[in-house]
Structures are given as structure tokens and as C-alpha cells.
């Protein structure tokens, strides 16, 4: 648990030095829950601009991977539909895969400038045959976001 908490603290401390230029893109987010020992990846099939992820596309299909180190479990869900959280489309994204997974990602921005991280939430309750009984809940609380993500730069 100390490893993940240290990793989360490192993300927060390095944010000012990670600020991306508007042109910078990414296709993978590396995430950590703020309360548990797990590693999450959100993989996009195309390059994403943080301030305008839906340029030319009304939706994006992503892959979400969660590896829980303490439980020694790995969960992979392909074809998670991400859509804009607002209309007209802005930088906020939310996604789901049937009734088993819900994810929400909000870029951290100041005056339209991406600060290098996303805050979000992830909820998994998969009762399907491959992942029967898989349940993870990383939701926002008064203590902060459920997950913190940083882009893996291209």
C-alpha cells in the first residue's frame, strides 16, 4: 500500500513539471487509485488531444486494464465506449461497457492549459463468465479523486 500511496504522491508532486503543450498527444493513461494497491491503464486506439479528445469522432472505444497487486488479479475489458460528458463535446470523458464497468476521466486544466493529469472514477462489477465476482470501486470522495492518471507520452 505504501508503494501506491508513494506513487500517487509522486504524480501530484511532478504535475507542475509534466504540463503538456496543446499539441502533445497521448494514446495511453497510466492510473493509480488513491486508496489501494492497483495499477490501471486506459488505452486509446488513436492519439488524444487532452483539451479536445473527440475531434472528428463522436465516441472512442478504449481498453481498460486493472492489475490489483495485493489480490494478484488482472482484469481486462476491451471495447469500453467513451463519450463526451457534455454537449457540445468538451475534454471530460465517461465510458461504460454493458453493465459491468463505468469510468469517468476529467483532465486537470487551468485557463485551457492541460496540467498533465486526469482525475476520475472507476467502478467494475463484472458478473460475466470470464470475470465472475470481479468488483472494484474507486470513486471520488471528500478525500479526493478515485483515480489519478498521467499520460504516457508518445
Range of the domain at 49: 2-153
Q: What is the CATH number of the domain that holds 63?
A: 2.40.128
Q: What confidence tens digit (pLDDT) does each residue in 46-89 have?
A: 999 998 899 888 899 999 999 998 888 899 999 999 999 888 78
pLDDT (0 to 100) of residue 73: 87
Distances (CA, A) of 102 to 20, 56, 117, 148: 27, 24, 19, 15
List the beta strands (DSSP E) in 85-112: 93-97, 101-110
Q: What confidence tens digit (pLDDT) does each residue in 131-152 have?
A: 777 899 999 998 899 999 999 9
Is pTM beyond 0.85? Reply is: no
Confidence of residue 154 (pLDDT cuts 50, 70, 90): low
Q: Is the pLDDT of residue 105 over 90?
A: yes
Counted domains in the chain: 1
Amino acid at each position: 500500500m505504501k508503494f501506491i500511496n508513494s506513487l500517487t504522491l509522486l504524480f501530484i508532486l511532478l504535475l507542475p513539471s509534466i504540463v503538456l503543450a496543446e499539441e502533445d498527444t497521448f494514446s495511453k493513461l497510466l492510473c493509480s487509485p488513491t486508496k489501494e494497491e492497483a495499477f490501471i491503464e486506459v488505452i486509446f486506439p488513436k492519439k488524444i488531444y487532452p483539451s479536445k479528445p473527440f475531434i472528428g469522432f463522436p465516441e472512442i472505444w478504449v481498453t481498460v486494464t486493472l492489475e490489483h497487486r495485493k489480490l494478484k488479479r488482472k482484469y481486462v475489458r476491451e471495447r469500453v465506449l467513451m463519450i463526451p460528458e457534455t454537449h457540445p463535446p468538451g475534454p471530460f470523458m465517461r465510458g461504460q461497457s454493458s453493465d459491468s464497468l463505468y469510468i469517468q476521466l476529467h483532465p486537470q486544466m487551468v485557463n485551457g492549459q492541460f496540467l498533465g493529469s486526469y482525475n476520475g472514477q472507476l467502478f467494475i462489477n463484472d458478473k460475466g463468465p470470464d470475470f465472475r465476482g470481479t468488483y472494484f470501486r474507486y470513486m471520488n470522495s471528500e478525500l479526493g479523486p478515485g483515480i489519478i492518471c498521467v499520460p504516457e507520452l508518445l
